[in-house]
């Protein structure tokens, strides 16, 4: 455990957990570089538009809705229209770089896009923050339960609503 690591690629230590504030910039940069690498390896194009959307989703402390993203894109390019956002999101979701949160019509950056996995989110009803649970055992048990009734699983989504650690015990915070 040294102090600040030197010039190595800065590891993302936020992992989307309900943790104290930190300088999120390096996490974002690291994530974007990782995404670029993944897309290059897969032979798909992480175009500037898609990269921009991914960056916005990563920078946000909580899931963003499509039209909120659109507004942000319009700051730099006021003519941008809805299909731009939805196309970029479609791509990013396909590539596993973003998850859609069904119960909120919102979109969150995937914290571990390297391995394919199911969408599992803990959603704080007070502060609006979301963290990926990403519990393999839960996925497995769901799959087992489904197969137990003869159902062939292709995809699963879990969305858990409640209070994050910071928002428990009293109506403070934001």
User: Which of 35, 54, 88, 123 lies at the binding interface for DNA (CB under 7 A)?
Assistant: 88
Closest approach, Cβ 7 to DNA, in A, equals 30
Closest approach, Cβ 141 to Zn ion, in A, equals 18
Which residues have CB under 8 Å from 129's CB, separation 6+?
Answer: 18, 61, 62, 123, 164
Burial of 120 (0-12, 13-18, 19+ CB in 10 A): buried
Q: Which is nearer to a copy of itself, 18 or 68 (CB)?
A: 18
Establish if 47 lies at the interface with a copy of itself (CB under 8 A).
no
Burial of 82 (0-12, 13-18, 19+ CB in 10 A): exposed
Q: Which is nearer to DNA, 54 or 124 (CB)?
A: 54
State the maximum Cα–Cα separation within the chain, in Å, rounded to a whole number: 54
Pick the stretch among 3-11, 47-55, 109-117, 142-150 that binds a copy of itself (CB under 8 A): 142-150
Establish if 164 lies at the interface with Zn ion (CB under 5 A).
yes
The structure tokens listed for 166 are 């910071």
Establish if 61 lies at the interface with a copy of itself (CB under 8 A).
no
Establish if 108 lies at the interface with a copy of itself (CB under 8 A).
no
Residue 110 interacts, among DNA, a copy of itself, Zn ion, none and using kind-specific CB cut-offs from 5 to 8 Å, with: Zn ion
Establish if 133 lies at the interface with a copy of itself (CB under 8 A).
yes
Question: Do residues 162 and 125 make contact, with C-beta atoms less than 8 angstroms apart?
Answer: yes
Which residues have CB under 8 Å from 157's CB, separation 6+?
Answer: 102, 118, 119, 120
Question: Do residues 125 and 159 make contact, with C-beta atoms less than 8 angstroms apart?
Answer: no
Contact set with a copy of itself (CB under 8 A): 17-18, 102-103, 122, 124-125, 131, 133, 135, 137-138, 141-142, 145-146, 149-165, 168
Contact set with DNA (CB under 7 A): 44-45, 47-50, 65-67, 77, 79-84, 86-88, 91, 105
């Amino acid at each position: 455990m040294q102090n600040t690591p030197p010039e190595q690629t800065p590891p993302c230590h936020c992992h989307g957990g309900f943790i104290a504030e930190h300088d999120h910039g390096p996490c974002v940069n690291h994530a974007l570089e990782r995404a670029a690498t993944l897309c290059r390896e897969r032979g798909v194009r992480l175009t500037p538009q898609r990269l921009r959307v991914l960056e916005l989703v990563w920078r946000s402390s909580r899931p963003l809705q499509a039209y909120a993203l659109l507004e942000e894109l319009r700051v730099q390019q006021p003519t941008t229209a809805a299909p731009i956002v939805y196309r970029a999101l479609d791509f990013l979701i396909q590539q596993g770089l973003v998850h859609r949160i069904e119960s909120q019509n919102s979109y969150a950056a995937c914290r571990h896009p390297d391995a394919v996995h199911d969408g599992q989110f803990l959603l704080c009803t007070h502060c609006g923050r979301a963290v990926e649970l990403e519990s393999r055992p839960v996925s497995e048990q769901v799959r087992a339960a489904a197969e137990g009734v003869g159902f062939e699983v292709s995809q699963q989504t879990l969305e858990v609503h409640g209070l994050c650690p910071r928002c428990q015990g009293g109506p403070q915070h934001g």
